[in-house]
Structure 1
Amino acid sequence: MATNWIFQGRCWKFGDNIPTDALTPTAVMFKSPKEMAAFVLETLNPDFPKQVRPGDILVAGRNFGCSSGRALATKALQATGIGAVVAEQFSRTFYRNCLEIGLPLLEATGVHALVNDGDEVRVDIKTATLENLTTGKRLQGAPPSQFLLGMLQAGGLIPLLKSGRFPGSATR
């Protein structure tokens, strides 16, 4: 359950059109998310699964999580301990899959140009802001709706449904 909306860590920068197949290669699809985490994005950056630390921030360009829409890709990414994922734009399926498991993410136009791999960054999901602590530059993203924040805070869709509390709903 997310109670802290602010994440700070090393920036892991990736480009445009990163498919879910790169997050979870076919050969590891039948492993647990924790086992799959050892292979996440290794074909694009072999250091990522070995050196990513809890709280680090993954930054990407446009269409992150495209292609097959593997729901396990988000679980494997979450199992790395990544704090949040920020991209210019997400594949809609990937975006919803992250929200459904409670993995914090943020869309922010201009984020790819704002950071470099290895920069120290801070992201506040609730206020939709990203700050490159290495350069001092800041960026305002698109804030998630109250409902989506509530889903993230609950830890995903299933915990939200079990709680019976639906943010932004007039019925509860």
Structure 2
Amino acid sequence: MKLTGNAHVYGSNIDTDRIIPGKYTKTLDMSQLADHVLEDLDPDFRKNVKEGDVIVADDNFGCGSSREQAPLALKAAGISAVVARSYARIFFRNAINVGLPVIEASDHAIEKENIVQVDLMNGIIFNKTKNETYQGTTMPRVMINILEEGGLVPYLKKHKDYVL
């Protein structure tokens, strides 16, 4: 599973309220979530993001509450993957559950508007703009399978005969 997109770069401790403000979490309308993603952190994000783009962050991305709307909003906005030095564990798990690819890469030099390719299977991030490769964590095959199915629910529906 390889994903390529333009990098939108942010710092450390980007919490779920910055990803999607709490006042918008009472809807199940994914387009409404997408319309407000990162609006307090980056007011121009929504007009600049394109389908397939990648979020890149420093440490502790997705900290704060355990709301699933944060990774859902990013996915609905067209984000193909998130690369961060580290994640809040509940955000990481929620992202996998909703089918948003995430990868940890503690040592990267990705800058705004770099074109990056994320190879989840091998845990490699290739910065096409700088012609640099960064080693990220490799993901267990079952997690790749969950992402390929679009999230945990579609995965379980497809594999219901194997789930106890």
Pick the TM interval, shorter chain: over 0.9
Aligned partners of 2:107 and 2:135 also within 8 Å: no
User: What's 1:153 paired with?
Assistant: 148
Please point out which of 29, 33, 37 is paired with 1:36.
Answer: 33
Task: Tell me by how many angstroms 1:165 deviates.
Answer: 7.0
User: What's 1:45 paired with?
Assistant: 42
Aligned: 1:19 with 2:15: yes
Equivalent-residue separation in structure 2 for 1:119 and 1:156 (angstroms) = 27
* Percent of matched pairs sharing the same residue: 37
Residue identity matched to 2:50: R
What SS class does the counterpart of residue 153 from structure 2 fall into?
helix
Aligned residues: 162
Equivalent-residue separation in structure 2 for 1:16 and 1:165 (angstroms) = 39
Residue identity matched to 1:8: T
Please point out which of 112, 122, 128 is paired with 2:123.
Answer: 128
- Unaligned 5+ residue runs, structure 1? none
Q: After superposition, where does 1:22-171 map in structure 2 within 5 Å?
A: 22-31=18-27, 32-111=29-108, 114-164=109-159
- Unaligned 5+ residue runs, structure 2? none
Aligned partners of 1:33 and 1:72 also within 8 Å: no
Task: Tell me by how many angstroms 1:12 deviates.
Answer: 0.3
Q: CA RMSD in A?
A: 1.7
TM-score computed with the length of structure 2 as normaliser: 0.93
Runs of 4 or more above 2 Å deviation: none
Residue identity matched to 2:142: F
1:78-131 residue CA offsets vs partner (Å, 9 max, x unmatched): 1001111111111110001010011111111112xx111111111111111111
Task: Tell me by how many angstroms 1:27 deviates.
Answer: 2.2
TM-score computed with the length of structure 1 as normaliser: 0.88
